[in-house]
Structures are given as structure tokens and as C-alpha cells.
């Protein structure tokens, strides 16, 4: 019997067909290459200035753009310890679950306080329960914490955060300028990592919005970026690279801009930072301390290493950190990063690392540890300053990671010694927490050999009231920094030594005791306190983005964010490492 449709039925069928075609179109769209949905990705999610369409004052012809390295990624050396070889230990697994849940509860507590009292602002004041906006008011904690929420399985919180991120308007700012460095590592890095982990395309769109804005920082006469991005000057085309640039600010753009090119297919971002790589390579051997770059660079008159202070601490730290990490992120296809790493580490080992005169432990043993100091160079001498910065504690992980990637076994040993040096500094303080900056009494031995303890020398060179081994603690505060636990995490994942998990737990308990408030965690004024610590009413976004993330991961299944699959930017945002395609299986 023939079926005759009514007019209403035909309309319903037509509507269903149109809906089906529309859904199919967008499903297909999500898997198309970048060039097929450029307009979709570059269209802002909020009204405002369209940085993607901004005319470039100092254009670079498309033919001159440097593309991502061609060819399949190399098979990189295994970095992470093979945990499958270890025997099962149910009792220890239960302990790790308890520790991991304790970290997760700390994250949940801090996030709930941020959500209630500082939502969509940069930071929570954890004592007064007010907010502050030092990073333009775009929601630094919100964006910085996205991947932490995802990794910890806080999916409802993540979903709500993504909805809030979609509302960010980069034109709605609390300042007429922004730091290129901070905007890059926190906002761009946070968006890209969360996008790769979750697949939420709106996060890639937001990353492109802020990436296009930061790309304008390179629109200078010599194509080197500004350090402070003044929005109106950028829109008017009046940016000039600074004379007072810093190594970290210019050398810590490469991972995020590379990942943005990898994720979007747009070569401009990678091309911009590849110029910086070429300048780093060109100038590495002509600084006042060949192999290292100074903290200060003159970018206005070219890429000129003008400073005389060298260190792995503030001003230079993450530029060195990114050398082996860029090698991984590019699938081993750019040997320049390996070459620069080896030259830099050789100089650092010779001039920046030092042994300190330390008191023996309860067993009468002097710890086998190393520290990284600051080096100043003048026309007559090279002087090492035995100051230990918390910022520089990432160096343990740097050496260990480079040692695995480039098959330098001695660097893994050095990385472990530096990491244990930072752990010793934590344990030596009354609160069990490391200060921002401290001075040690250096050994007077050669070739980084350990010296014995000299009580009289320490009394003569130290200030009264300090723990044994320290000569000064000029900056005694702790701002919830992640660098020490970062290296402890990396050393655990590389060596498989469970001792590092126990060290991490001791650190976590000490930090909680010293910094926890009723509602969240706060920076403290002095780690030398013997009683109640004075809370500074400050909680930077790296507390939830980095510190708590590393504490969680060291107690988690090692397969979660494996070091063979991901590489972390300096704000602890994991980026996927390109892998060679597996050969197809043949059927016979």
C-alpha cells in the first residue's frame, strides 16, 4: 500500500533532515585540517579588538616564514622509568591513594574558595577573601588551573571553568599593558594544555585569540618581541624591542608558540620563535661567560647579550629549561636545541654549581648534594655567589631530563644531587619549607668535591639565629612555589626511586602546616618562624597550576601524564610530544 505523507509530516521530515545535515557538518568540521576552518577558529568568541586581522607594520612575507620541521618525528629515548618491572605492593598503593586524595582535597578547598570569592579574577586573597588582578583581570587562576582540574578528575569544576573561559574578553583589562612572558606561560600555555587534554575546541579558539595578540608583540623593526605589551601602542604599530630585555622573557615563548602552530596549523607562531632560537644559537659563545646567556639582553639594537650576571634563577631560568623540552616538543627534529643544551650545561656545571659546607646529619653523614648559584663576570674575574633561589630548584629536573634525552648519564646524577640540595634546604628550615632566597657557605675544594663541617667558620660567616649551614636568608618568605616539588616529581618519574614519593609527602605536610588558612593556602612571610606563621594573604595561580599538580602526579599512576608522552611548560602545563606513526601490521 502506498504511503502518502501529510504536509505537517513533510515539514517535520525536512526539519529532521536539515538538523541531521547540520550535525554531520559540524562533526566533520571538527576533524578537518586547520586550513578548512581558519575562519571558525579565528572568529573571536567575544566582541572586541580582532588581533588576527590587525595589519602588520613590519610584515614578513609568507615565503619567509619558517615552517615546523618536516618529516616524521624521531623515536626519542625513553625518559620515564619502566614502573611495570616493580612488584605489586598493595599496602603502599593504599598509602599513595590516601596521599593523592589529600592533595586533591587541598585543590578542591582552594578552588571552592576561589570560585566563591574571586571567580573570574586573577587571584584569591586567602585570608581576607578578597581578590586581586595582577595579570590584567582575565582570570589567571581560572585559566592556569584548567588542566589541574582535568587531571584530578574534577570534571564538573572543569566544565564550569570552560564556560567561564569562553567569556574572557582580552579587551576588558585592568591595565593598559601586559607582561608577554606571564600572559604566554599562564594564559596561552593553560589554554593549549587544557585543549589537548580535553578536546574542547573553544579552548583552542581562546588560545588563538590570545596567541594572535601576543604575536603582535613581534611586530617590531627587527621582529624581536617587546617585554611589556602596551595595547594601544601595538594597535598603532609603535612597538620597538626593548634595550632591557631579559633572557627568560624572550627565551620562554618557544614551547607555547610551537604548540599553537602544531595545534592550529598556522606557521606564523613557530616562525616568530624560531628567529629567537637562531639568535640564541648565534650568541651563546660570545657572551661574557661563553655557553650561558646573561639575564639581561639588548633586543632593540639586535640580540646583544649585554649583562654580566648569569644564573639558573630569576631572569634566566626557564630559557634554559626549554632547551631539552623544545627538542622533545619538535620530535627531535631540531638538533640546535640539543647543541645549546650541552654547551649551556657544560658552562653551568663548571661555573654555577657549587658544594656547600653542611652539617652532618644524625648518622654523622654529610649530604651528597649540589646547589646552583649566581655568577657575575667582569674584566678580571668570574665570581660565583653561593645564593640559592627557590626558582632555581627546577635545575634538578632540567639536568635529569636532558640526561635521559641526550644519553648523558652524569647529568642524571647531577640532577639528583641538585634536587636533594633543595630538599635539604626545605628540611633545614624550622617550618620545613624552603625560603625564596638563601645564602650558604661554599666549600673551598676543587672539582665539586665535598668539604667537611667547620663549626667555627660557620659561626664567623653566618648571621645569628640561622640554621646550621646558612650564612644569610635575605628573602625568607615562601610564596607557594613549585620548583622543588617539580624536580622531585621528575626525578621520581625518571629513576623510579620511591624515596622521592616519601620526600614529596614530607614536603606537602610541611607546606600545608605552614600555609593553610581556614579557606585556602597563603604565602607566608618567613619560613624561619618557630611558631605560627604570618600569612601574607597571597595565593598566586601557580599554586593550583603547578605546585598541587606536581604533588598529585607524584602519588598518581605513573601512566597519568607520562614523561614519554608529555612535556611540561614552565607553568606545569603538559603538551603532547609528537610521536612517529606505528608501522601498519601486515596480514598474511
Q: Which residues carry out catalysis?
A: 436
Say which residue the cell 581558519 belongs to: 38
Q: Which residues contact 459 (CB under 8 A, 6 or more apart)?
A: none
Residue with cell 567561564: 164
* Grid cell digits, residue 423: 630538599
Q: Residue 187 in contact with residue 255, Cβ under 8 Å?
A: no
DSSP secondary structure string for all residues of 333-375 = --THHHHHHHHHHHHHHHHTEE-B-----TTSPPP---EE-EE
How crowded is residue 190: how many other Cβ atoms within 10 Å of its Cβ?
32
DSSP state of 295: S
**Residue 30 to residue 19: CA distance in whole angstroms:** 17
Q: What single DSSP character describes residue 574?
A: E
Closest listed residue to residue 372, CA positions, set 435, 427, 440: 440
Q: Which residue in 204, 216, 122 sits closest to 162, CA to CA?
A: 204
Closest CA to 413 of 443, 437, 448, 438: 448
Question: Cα 213 from chain centroid?
Answer: 20
β-sheet bridge partners, residue 442: 356
Going by C-beta distance under 8 Å and a sequence separation of 6 or more, which residues neighbour residue 522?
A: 126, 127, 480, 515, 516, 535, 536, 537, 538, 539
Q: Which helix (H) or strand (E) holds 554?
A: helix 548-554
Distance CA 111, CA 344 (A): 39
* DSSP track, 15-65: HHHHHHHHHHHHHHHTTS-GGGSHHHHHS-SSSS--GGGPPPSS---GGGP
- What values do phi and psi take at 473, rounded to 5? -135, 80
Coil, helix or strand at residue 471? strand
Task: Report phi then psi at 353, rounded to 5.
Answer: -80, 150
How far apart CA 119 and CA 117 sit, in angstroms, is: 6
Cβ neighbours of 531 (radius 10 Å): 6
Residue 272 in contact with residue 68, Cβ under 8 Å?
Answer: no
Give the three-class secondary structure for 162.
Answer: helix
Tracing cell 602596551 back to the chain, one arrives at 230
Amino acid at each position: 500500500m502506498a504511503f502518502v505523507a501529510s504536509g505537517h509530516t513533510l515539514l517535520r521530515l525536512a526539519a529532521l533532515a536539515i538538523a541531521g545535515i547540520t550535525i554531520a557538518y559540524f562533526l566533520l568540521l571538527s576533524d578537518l585540517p586547520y586550513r578548512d576552518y581558519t575562519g571558525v577558529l579565528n572568529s573571536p568568541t567575544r566582541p572586541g579588538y580582532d588581533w588576527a586581522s590587525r595589519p602588520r607594520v613590519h610584515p614578513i612575507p609568507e615565503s619567509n616564514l619558517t615552517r615546523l620541521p618536516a618529516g616524521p618525528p624521531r623515536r626519542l629515548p625513553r625518559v620515564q622509568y619502566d614502573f611495570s618491572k616493580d612488584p605489586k605492593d598493595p599496602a603502599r598503593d593504599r598509602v599513595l591513594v590516601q596521599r593523592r586524595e589529600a592533595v586533591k582535597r587541598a585543590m578542591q578547598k582552594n578552588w571552592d574558595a576561589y570560585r566563591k570569592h574571586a571567580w573570574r579574577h586573577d587571584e584569591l586573597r586567602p585570608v581576607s577573601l578578597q581578590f586581586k588582578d595582577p595579570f590584567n583581570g582575565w582570570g589567571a587562576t581560572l585559566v592556569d588551573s584548567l588542566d589541574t582540574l582535568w587531571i584530578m578528575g574534577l570534571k564538573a569544576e572543569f566544565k564550569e571553568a570552560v564556560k567561564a573561559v569562553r567569556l574572557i574578553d582580552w579587551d576588558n583589562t585592568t591595565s593598559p599593558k601586559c607582561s608577554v612572558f606571564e600572559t604566554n606561560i599562564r594564559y596561552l600555555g593553560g589554554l593549549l594544555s587544557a585543549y589537548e587534554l580535553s578536546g574542547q575546541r573553544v579552548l583552542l579558539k581562546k588560545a588563538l585569540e590570545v596567541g594572535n595578540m601576543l604575536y603582535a608583540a613581534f611586530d617590531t623593526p627587527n621582529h624581536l618581541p617587546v617585554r611589556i605589551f602596551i595595547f594601544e601602542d601595538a594597535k598603532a604599530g609603535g612597538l620597538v624591542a626593548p634595550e632591557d630585555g631579559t633572557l627568560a622573557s624572550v627565551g620562554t615563548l618557544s614551547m607555547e608558540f610551537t604548540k599553537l602552530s602544531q595545534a592550529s596549523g598556522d606557521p606564523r607562531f613557530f616562525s616568530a620563535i624560531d628567529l629567537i632560537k637562531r639568535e640564541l644559537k648565534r650568541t651563546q659563545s660570545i657572551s661574557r661567560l661563553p655557553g650561558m646567556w646573561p639575564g639581561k639582553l639588548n633586543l632593540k639594537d639586535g640580540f646583544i647579550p649585554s649583562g654580566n650576571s648569569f644564573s639558573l634563577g630569576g631572569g634566566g631560568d626557564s630559557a634554559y629549561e626549554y632547551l631539552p623540552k623544545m627538542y622533545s616538543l619538535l620530535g627531535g627534529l631540531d638538533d640546535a636545541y640539543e647543541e645549546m643544551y650541552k654547551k649551556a650545561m657544560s658552562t653551568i656545571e663548571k661555573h654555577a654549581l657549587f658544594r656547600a659546607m653542611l652539617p652532618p646529619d644524625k648518622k654523622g653523614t654529610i649530604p651528597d648534594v649540589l646547589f646552583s648559584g649566581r655568577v657575575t663576570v667582569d674584566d678580571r674575574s668570574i665570581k660565583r655567589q653561593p645564593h640559592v633561589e627557590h626558582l632555581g630548584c627546577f635545575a634538578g629536573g632540567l639536568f635529569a631530563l636532558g640526561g635521559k634525552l641526550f644519553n648523558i648519564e652524569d647529568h642524571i646524577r647531577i640532577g639528583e644531587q641538585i634536587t636533594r640540595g633543595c630538599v635539604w634546604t626545605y628540611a633545614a628550615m624550622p617550618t620545613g619549607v624552603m625560603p625564596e632566597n638563601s645564602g650558604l657557605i661554599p666549600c673551598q675544594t676543587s672539582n665539586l668535591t665535598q668539604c667537611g663541617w667547620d663549626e667555627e667558620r660557620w659561626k664567623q660567616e653566618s648571621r645569628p639565629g640561622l640554621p646550621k649551614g646558612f650564612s644569610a636568608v635575605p628573602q625568607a618568605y615562601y610564596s607557594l612555589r613549585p620548583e622543588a616539588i617539580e624536580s622531585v616529581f621528575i626525578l621520581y618519574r625518571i629513576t623510579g626511586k620511591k624515596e622521592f614519593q616519601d620526600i614529596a609527602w614530607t614536603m606537602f605536610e610541611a607546606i600545608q602546616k605552614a600555609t593553610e588558612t581556614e579557606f585556602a593556602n597563603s604565602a607566608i612571610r618567613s619560613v624561619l618562624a618557630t611558631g605560627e606563621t604570618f600569612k601574607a594573604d597571597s595565593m598566586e595561580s601557580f599554586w593550583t597550576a603547578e605546585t598541587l599538580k606536581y604533588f598529585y602526579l607524584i602519588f598518581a599512576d605513573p601512566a597519568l601524564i607520562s614523561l614519554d608522552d608529555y612535556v611540561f611548560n614552565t607553568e606545569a602545563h603538559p603538551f603532547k610530544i609528537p610521536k612517529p606513526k606505528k608501522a601498519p601490521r601486515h596480514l598474511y
